Amino acid sequence: MPAKTKHNKDMVTTDADASDHTDSQDPDNRCLEGAEVSSDEGSETIADSAPISKKAELAEEDIGKKINQMRLDKGYSQRKLARMAGLTNTAISSIERNKVSPAINTLKAILQVLDSDLTTFFSDEWKERKPRVVVTPQDLLELSEPNSRVSLKQVYNCSTTKNLGFLIETYQPNSATEEKITHEGEEIGTVIEGKIVIRIEDSTYLLSKGDSYVIDTSHPHTFINPTDSITRIVSAHTPTTY
């Protein structure tokens, strides 16, 4: 089923080269104020694998919430964590949303990428951050690589229960995202400066300042700035998969 768009411009064709924009390295600690210590301890088996601790309490252990916070504290997108851990983006998304419980080997692989281990993960050393109300420019989480010509800054307030992601995007002249991005959910955005070409499977759309789009992000898509000027977009997506 084709993706929906809210303001589709004339169909255009462009051969602009795509440049990767995966993710950044560790940001500074943004949410240490008001940190609370989690007292839950792991206590069950995970996905019928070897036991972590006592069985009675793991049902209360929010594995997905911990992984989500640890990933964002590292400044990694779900795609980057999935790639480094040898998993799919869908798998990481499902684990973070507690739709599935990871097997022990899977959890070990994830924690290794996040510079942690099972003992620390299921101990009171893990601290849940206190969500912010105000997110300053310095608190924005850059998800692109340092050398990328596409900047994707996530409005990250340290909440582990949020259902909406929000990005402030900047595309340098003649730049693009990686080819054929896919992730579950829906994305809505508005061009606030410049122009952007959106390729969705076999369709191509040109949007100018003031135009908005609505897309099903499970369809492969690429964003391209084919102009000699900077393009800026603000976008929201749900779930918080990226």
The string of pLDDT tens digits covering residues 106-147 is: 999 999 999 999 888 888 766 777 888 999 998 898 888 778
Confidence of residue 231 (pLDDT cuts 50, 70, 90): very high
b/e 189-208 (16+ beta carbons within 10 angstroms → b): bbbeebbbbbbbeeebbbbe
Among residues of the chain, what percentage have pLDDT more than 70? 72
- Lowest-confidence pick of 163-167, 182-186, 222-226, 227-231: 182-186
pLDDT at 105: 93
Please state the rounded mean pLDDT for residues 155-174.
89
Average pLDDT score over residue span 160-184: 88
Tokens of 202: 């076999």
**Of 42-56, 75-89, 184-198, where does mean pLDDT reach its minimum?**
42-56
Residue 123 tokens, joined: 């101990």
Mean pLDDT estimate for the chain: 77
pLDDT at 61: 56
> pLDDT at residue 6 above 90?
no
Residue 204 pLDDT > 90 = yes
pLDDT in tens, 25-46: 444 445 544 333 333 333 333 3
Mark 124-150 as b/e (b = at least 16 C-beta within 10 Å): eeeebbeebeebeeebbbbbbbeebbb
**What is the reported pLDDT for 31?**
57
Tokens 């050398």 correspond to 147
Give me the residues paired with residue 186 across strands.
216, 238
Give residue for tokens 């990226």: 242
Q: Is the pLDDT of residue 179 over 60?
A: yes
* CA 83, 85, 88, 91 torsion-angle sign: negative
Cα–Cα distance for residue pair 238/164, rounded to 1 Å: 5
* In contact, 84 and 189? CB cutoff 8 Å: no
What six digits make up the tokens of 144?
């692109």
Give the H/E segment covering residue 72.
helix 63-74
For residue 227, name the pLDDT band (cuts at 50, 70, 90).
Answer: very high
pLDDT the model gives residue 126? 66
Q: Tell me: pLDDT of 205 over 60.
A: yes
User: Of all residues in the chain, what percent are helix, strand and coil, respectively (each to 5)?
Assistant: 20, 25, 55
pLDDT confidence band for 14 (50 / 70 / 90): very low
pLDDT at 53 over 50: no
**pLDDT score of 147:** 85
Q: For residue 38, which amino acid is it? A: S
Q: Is the pLDDT of residue 21 over 70?
A: no
In whole angstroms, give the CA distance from residue 99 to residue 32: 28
Preceding peptide of 51 cis, ω within 30° = no
- Please give the backbone phi and psi of residue 77, each rounded to the nearest 5 degrees, phi first: -80, 170
